[in-house]
Chain A
Amino acid sequence: ETGVTQSPTHLIKTRGQQVTLRCSSQSGHNTVSWYQQALGQGPQFIFQYYREEENGRGNFPPRFSGLQFPNYSSELNVNALELDDSALYLCASSLEGGGARGYTFGSGTRLTVV
C-alpha cells in the first residue's frame, strides 16, 4: 500500500506570485487535509476535502484554496504569496472524514517565499 506523496519537495517563490502544491492520497483514502507548519511550530489546519468537497476550514484567508479530484488526489493553491507563507506544507489523508481513525501524513513541501 502506498503512502501519501507530495510534490514538489522544495519550492522557492517570490512575494506576490502564486503556487500550487500537489498531494496523492494513500490508496483508498477519500479525505484529504492540508496543514501549514511554520518553523519551530506545530502544524496548523488549513482545510479539508471529503469526496471532492471542502468540508472544513481553519483560520486562513481566501487566497489559500484547494481542490480534490475524483481519484482523491488534491492541490493546495496559494495566491499573492507573502513572506509569512514560508513554511512546510503537509498533506494528510484518511478514510471517511478522519477523526478517531487518524491521518497518514506526507513528507511535506517546503515553500520559501523571498
Chain B
Amino acid sequence: DAGVTQSPTHLIKTRGQQVTLRCSPKSGHDTVSWYQQALGQGPQFIFQYYEEEERQRGNFPDRFSGHQFPNYSSELNVNALLLGDSALYLCASSYRRGANEQYFGPGTRLTVT
C-alpha cells in the first residue's frame, strides 16, 4: 500500500522564478492538504483540495495556487518566489474533507537564492 509521495525531493530556485511541487495521495484517499514548514517552526496550513476544488485556505498570498487532478493527485504552484518561501513543503492526504486523520509525505525542500 503506497503512502503519500512527493516530488521532487529537493529544489533550488532563484528569486522571482516560479515552481511546481507534486503530490500523490495515499491509496484510497481523495483529499490533499499542503503545508509550509520553515526551519525551526511547525507546519503552516496553505490550502486543501477536494473534488478538484480548493475548499479551504490558510493565510497565504495568491502567489500560492494549486490544482487537483481526477486521480486525486495535486500540484502546488508558487509564483514570484521570495527568499522567505524557502521551506519544507509537506503534502498530507486524507479520506474525505473534515476532521479525518491526515497522512504526510516526505516533503519537498525548496531553497530560494
- Chain A bound to chain B: no
